[in-house]
């Protein structure tokens, strides 16, 4: 079931994959998928081997007023990366850098489970959401690679609040500020 789920999520994305199609590819009844994983969200997290569930962190981000969401997103990233899930998240990112299949799953995880939720909570035209989401993702993924993979100083040893203060305003601008949108 997990192999079928990974293939479906990598090929069709979170929104395009269905429990029924995944069960069919695994040659099992959809009820069996629900029995073992409960929901599509839980199946997705298992399929991408997500070391952290965004539902544990996103309510804090979404509780912030729109003008504070940039800092809240960076604070959430720091909490995940500086917490016990760090080795597993680092393995997932390194795998994504070297393997297209892993990159598709990570991209879908970041977009579907985190960025779209944050962007969707803001009042903006639909046509802006994808472009702003991509810009936010570029900043967050760049931060992760720079701080945790490449370990570039002084960013690598900065406190989480120093990182929030430095990077949060850029994420905020991508979320709600004036920016020339790609595409």
Task: Report if residue 183 sits inside a domain.
Answer: no
- Res. 153 pLDDT band, cuts 50 70 90: very high
Q: Are residues 32 and 62 in the same domain?
A: no
Query: Which residues, at least 6 apart from 34, have a Cβ–Cβ distance to it below 8 Å?
Result: 19
Question: Domains in the chain: how many in total?
Answer: 2
Determine the pLDDT at residue 171. Answer: 97
Which token pair is 114? Answer: 């985190």
Q: Are residues 128 and 63 in the same domain?
A: yes
Q: Are residues 90 and 68 in the same domain?
A: yes
Which token pair is 82? Answer: 């500086």
Q: Are residues 41 and 61 in the same domain?
A: no
How far apart are the C-alpha atoms of 155 and 145, rounded to whole Å?
11
Q: Are residues 138 and 74 in the same domain?
A: yes
How far apart are the C-alpha atoms of 137 and 157, rounded to whole Å?
22
pTM above 0.85, yes or no: no
| Residue span of the structural domain in which 20 resides | 2-47
Q: Are residues 90 and 106 in the same domain?
A: yes
Model confidence pLDDT, tens digit, residues 26-78? 999 999 999 999 988 888 878 877 667 888 889 999 999 999 999 999 999 99
Q: Are residues 29 and 58 in the same domain?
A: no
């Amino acid at each position: 079931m997990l192999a079928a789920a990974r293939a479906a999520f990598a090929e069709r994305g979170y929104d395009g994959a269905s429990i029924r199609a995944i069960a069919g590819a695994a040659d099992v009844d959809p009820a069996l998928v629900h029995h073992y994983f409960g929901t599509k969200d839980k199946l997705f997290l298992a399929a991408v081997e997500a070391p952290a569930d965004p539902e544990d962190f996103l309510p804090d981000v979404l509780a912030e007023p729109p003008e504070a969401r940039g800092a809240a997103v960076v604070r959430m990233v720091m909490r995940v990366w500086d917490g016990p899930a760090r080795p597993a998240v680092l393995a997932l990112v390194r795998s994504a850098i070297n393997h297209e299949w892993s990159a598709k799953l990570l991209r879908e995880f970041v977009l579907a489970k985190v960025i779209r939720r944050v962007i969707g909570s803001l009042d903006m035209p639909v046509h802006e959401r994808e472009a702003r989401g991509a810009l936010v993702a570029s900043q967050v993924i760049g931060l992760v690679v720079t701080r945790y993979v490449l370990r570039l100083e002084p960013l690598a040893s900065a406190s989480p609040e120093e990182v929030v203060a430095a990077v949060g305003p850029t994420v905020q601008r991508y979320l709600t500020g004036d920016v020339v949108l790609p595409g």
